[in-house]
Amino acid sequence: MKICDVLQREAILDDLKAQNKKGILEELVVPVARIAGVQQEELVRVLMERERLGSTGIGGGIGIPHGKLKALESLVLGFGLSRRGVDFESIDGQPTHIFFILITPENSTGLHLKLLARISRILKNDSFKQRLMHASDGDEIYRIIKEEDQEF
């Protein structure tokens, strides 16, 4: 499965404004909740519960908040870019700029893990991360992700 098989253009936020973890999650869930047909508050609750287990700020300026929702029919992926960076309690203590948010149905562990692994793999490419950071808008971000997604 490719990232762009799941990531919809309208789920890409190119200028996150929040300066803390909960605020970032509240911003990220807006388009994802609309696409999935679920309540934003429910998504934030699920994501915050997952964050309490350990931060999804994986270091290198990257956060991959994720969670499972019983009422969901298929997985939903979103993207957000914080140009200033935010304290997301990342494992390296550095600000987080690039976010992929993944919400999956409760019973789809395999798919969930495959997509997380794919996202993690492409984010190891520093030039890819730099291109995302300098993208001018959501359309450019989508093109950059699609190009990189073809490589793997």
Contact predicate 76/36, CB 8 Å: yes
Q: Which of 66, 97, 112, 134 is catalytic?
A: 66
Number of CB atoms found within 10 A of residue 135's CB: 19
Is 66 noted as a catalytic residue in this protein? yes
Encode 82-121: b = buried (16+ Cβ within 10 Å), e = exposed: beebbebebeeeeebbbbbbbbbbeeeeebbeebbebbee
Catalytic machinery residues: 66
